Amino acid sequence: MIVAMEPAPEIRVAADPNALAEAAAREVVAVARAAVAARGRFTIALAGGSTPRESYRRLAEPPLAAEMPWDRTLVFFGDERGVPPDHPESNYGMARAALLSHVPIPSDQIFPIQGDAPDTDAVAAEYARTLGEVFRVRRGEVPRLDLILLGLGIDGHTASLFPGSPVLKETFRIVTAVHAAAASIPERITLTYPIFNAAACVIYLVSGAEKAKVVRAALGDRGGAVPAAMVRPTDGRLLWILDRAAAALLPAGRTS
Ligand code: 6PG
């Protein structure tokens, strides 16, 4: 029997959070330019949380801002918290403040998830429909984004895929509403494994000593036990960019 196995993730260790931000921003530019050269546009899903903020800032400033094909870029979100866009915890709000309001990207190419709507199931279904339209997929097909950025929570969650949640078993819907009791903002809307694992490239950004244990849980010899470790694109690249503090507990020989 032939068993298909995804290649091991690439792991890159940056000296500190600034070097991580620079490496991540440069990767985004490289993936964006390659996607535009190959397909005429670049589709990305941004990560929430605080780790990507500095990468977003760098993409908004020279020299990298000028290297990005903004007019060909379509921006989606991996998840959103149940707050309005101007709330300090809004993932869209963070991305807008750090990046999107500073670059010449047409507003109809930015697809925020409406976090504060009363009917989160309807918002999730609508977002899935929008993705389906933009990617012109047929029923049952899954959109293939060029790049998905993700972060890692201390409990091993990524996007809003939290440990123990029924959404971890989702095989059909590409966007769902979730209730994450452990999170400071429990009502959330998240993309799911089917769309993460259909991506052409997924990049994790993880910084700080407080993440070292969960990085080991996700990437160490016995990795695979936390939700983030189950993002394994079936036909795509998987890159983890860590800073030295986050990588500190990885077994020797695991990093490049
Ligand atoms: C969210 C996120 C979440 C985040 C991690 C890491 O909306 O909460 O998308 O998955 O990426 O919790 O967050 P930090 O970068 O803030 O540590």
Per-residue confidence of the chain (256 residues) as pLDDT tens digits? 455 556 689 999 999 999 999 999 999 999 999 999 999 999 999 999 999 999 999 999 999 999 999 999 999 999 999 999 999 999 999 999 999 999 999 999 999 999 999 999 999 999 999 999 999 999 889 999 999 999 999 999 999 999 999 999 999 999 999 999 989 999 999 999 999 999 999 999 999 999 999 999 999 766 668 999 999 999 999 999 999 999 999 987 766 6
Contact 210, 162 (CB under 8 A): no
Do the domain assignments include residue 247?
no
CATH assignment of the domain containing 55: 3.40.50.1360
Ligand 1 atom with least separation from CA of 49: 16
Contact 214, 163 (CB under 8 A): no
Do the domain assignments include residue 6?
no
Count of domains in the chain? 1
Sheet holding 187-191, edge to edge: 79-81, 187-191, 175-179
Residue 40, sorted as left (phi over 0), alpha (psi -120 to 50) or beta, turns out to be left
pLDDT of residue 222: 63
How far away, in angstroms, is 23 Cα from ligand 1 center?
Answer: 19
Write down the H helix ranges in 61-152: 64-67, 91-98, 120-134
How far away, in angstroms, is 48 Cα from ligand 1 center?
Answer: 5
Report how far residue 217's alpha carbon sits from residue 121's, in angstroms, rounded to the nearest whole number: 32
Do the domain assignments include residue 156?
yes
Do the domain assignments include residue 3?
no
Do the domain assignments include residue 206?
yes
Do the domain assignments include residue 20?
no
Q: Please tell me if the CB atom of residue 153 comes closer than 6 angstroms to any atom of ligand 1.
A: yes
Helices 17-39 and 53-60: crossing angle in degrees, nearest 10, is: 60
Do the domain assignments include residue 1?
no
Give the range of the structural domain holding residue 97, as residue numbers without chain letter: 25-236
**Residue type (1 letter), 139:** R
pLDDT of residue 225: 82
Q: Ligand 1, from 160, 189, 192: best to mutate by most atoms within 8 Å of Cβ?
A: 160
Helices (H) and strands (E) in the chain, counts: 8, 9
Report how far residue 39's alpha carbon sits from residue 251's, in angstroms, rounded to the nearest whole number: 39
Do the domain assignments include residue 12?
no
Q: Please tell me if the CB atom of residue 51 comes closer than 6 angstroms to any atom of ligand 1.
A: yes
Residue 85's nearest CA partner among 104, 68, 74, 100 is 100
Strand partners, 150: 204
Report how far residue 117's alpha carbon sits from residue 113's, in angstroms, rounded to the nearest whole number: 10
pLDDT of residue 105: 98
Report how far residue 197's alpha carbon sits from residue 65's, in angstroms, rounded to the nearest whole number: 28
